[in-house]
Structure 1
């Protein structure tokens, strides 16, 4: 008779499968950490896509411990590890129960949590005991309404307290939401060794061009309106208007891949595409009595509107200020509605302000407080024309751009640490 090898995680009565895309999201933290680390994969089942993704994400200095969902599955899981070859066998150890595992920098739960809130809470309490300081656990829950509501509600609560990221994976049967939880704060230095994380909100079209999920939704709405118009008025050509608008609406949310200048550790990259409006030393009362070097960039409606982190750091605050909707290229835009993302870095505090404009009325922010951002990593977007301001410690950085210069988000170096 089998028994659960992971306390608090009984074998689900209705297993929720995880496809390749969900597995990639679950193992994203493992894949982007470029230093030697120890990872722990729990609740693995035979044939697990998550186990395969975790093995493929390992770097030469990494080690991985795998705990099967049930103790009698150990021989099958061990055989799968062996099937990946000698390279994997030397780095991956399979054990029969979670209490025997060493503390890990990254934990991945290979089976979605289902059941009651109490079951989910017990499982998370057990996971936390096996994480190093600042370690992160990645876990999925069903995303369809009415499916395992207890576990879903508990994960939502835990994410509000300890969340370091959350991704909805629609291309899974059924859809799942992946939560990344960090129960103890990570040092800002940890962000320096990370690469940009894989996000399912960026849909690949070609190798070099992605489309943000907002673009998919915008195109679908336009095409749906065209279809409805055609049905309502079959003899009219009005349906052509929304049909022709679908491609430009999607193109606004294009999300090209960018080469971040990793070879220069002192480089600060642009937070967005656009034209530099101003470079100035100032104090912003919203950020306290500190002198900042502020580099403001205007995004026209034709620019890429994905926002990226200019430096590597830990998100320590996020707040929104009220205001108007003046044209983003005018001085009055200083008092527009804006979202501020505050980062702790090894060089000091850095702030990115996403400002609305006359047309832009919606700011999308995708990283919670506690998340680690790599330099050049996507963290949000602004819809339809806007402005981004990067605030750097005034005495620690020197600007390399001036008013009128064109910059490319995540690729152009706008300043350098002294």
Structure 2
């Protein structure tokens, strides 16, 4: 009985790890550890970069740019796998940051196993690029919407490291 309990405890500690990071350079850095699932032009001219986070990734999310959090909105929803198209209706937290590039939207999306998103900071908080802003428990996805004119430097299938991997190109 002690062996399974110890293994479960060790697994939980490993899953909820939060390593220190040397923050990368660039105007926009990755808010999440994971793999770029898709890069899509949006109807309003923005580009959505979707990063899928497996249960093996670090699930602490970071600010992609320095700025002020202008809103943090929890939206209830379902819990289908975050890599699935139907995940567009999953539970989520929508963040807006007032940055040097204007309004940046980031969405934390809960997956089939992840049933809780934990924002660390409230609206009105000033953040530095790479600051910890929240946690999604277990597998999930983070969508980042880049303003029109910002060229994407990552590719579908590329691994990202929160606070380190540069998302934009000069």
TM-score of Structure 1 vs Structure 2, range by shorter chain: over 0.9
- Are 2:147 and 1:384 aligned? no
Q: Distance in 2 between matches of 1:387 and 1:316?
A: 21
Q: Counterpart of 1:278?
A: 38
Q: Distance in 2 between matches of 1:303 and 1:342?
A: 24
- How big is each residue's C-alpha offset from its partner over 1:251-301, in whole Å with a ceiling of 9 and x where there is no partner? 101111111124x4xx31101100000111114xxxxxx432110000000
Q: 1:240: how far off?
A: 2.8
Q: Counterpart of 2:4?
A: 241
- How big is each residue's C-alpha offset from its partner over 1:106-156, in whole Å with a ceiling of 9 and x where there is no partner? xxxxxxxxxxxxxxxxxxxxxxxxxxxxxxxxxxxxxxxxxxxxxxxxxxx
SS at match of 1:247: helix
- Are 2:59 and 1:305 aligned? yes
SS at match of 2:18: strand
- How big is each residue's C-alpha offset from its partner over 1:312-331, in whole Å with a ceiling of 9 and x where there is no partner? 11011111222211111111
Q: Counterpart of 2:29?
A: 269
Q: Counterpart of 1:123?
A: none
- How big is each residue's C-alpha offset from its partner over 1:155-192, in whole Å with a ceiling of 9 and x where there is no partner? xxxxxxxxxxxxxxxxxxxxxxxxxxxxxxxxxxxxxx
Q: Counterpart of 2:158?
A: 405
The one of 311, 330, 333 aligned to 2:84:
330
Q: Which structure 1 residue ranges, 5 or more long, are not aligned?
A: 1-237, 284-289
Larger radius of gyration: 1
- How big is each residue's C-alpha offset from its partner over 1:229-262, in whole Å with a ceiling of 9 and x where there is no partner? xxxxxxxxx2332122111110101111111124
Q: Distance in 2 between matches of 1:277 and 1:271?
A: 14
Q: Distance in 2 between matches of 1:372 and 1:354?
A: 19
Higher RCO, 1 or 2 (CA under 8 Å, sep at least 6)? 2
Map 1:168-183 → 2, pairs under 5 A: none
Q: Counterpart of 1:295?
A: 49
Q: Counterpart of 1:363?
A: 117
- How big is each residue's C-alpha offset from its partner over 1:85-112, in whole Å with a ceiling of 9 and x where there is no partner? xxxxxxxxxxxxxxxxxxxxxxxxxxxx
Q: How many residues align?
A: 170
| TM-score with structure 2 setting the length | 0.95
Q: Distance in 1 between matches of 2:56 and 2:105?
A: 25
Q: Counterpart of 1:42?
A: none
Q: Counterpart of 1:319?
A: 73
1:281 touches 1:394 (CA, 8 Å); kept in 2? no
Q: 1:304: how far off?
A: 0.7
SS at match of 1:255: coil
Structure 1 ranges of 4+ moved more than 4 A: none
Task: Please give the root-mean-square deviation of Cα atoms over the aligned residues, in Å.
Answer: 1.3
Q: Distance in 2 between matches of 1:331 and 1:312?
A: 30
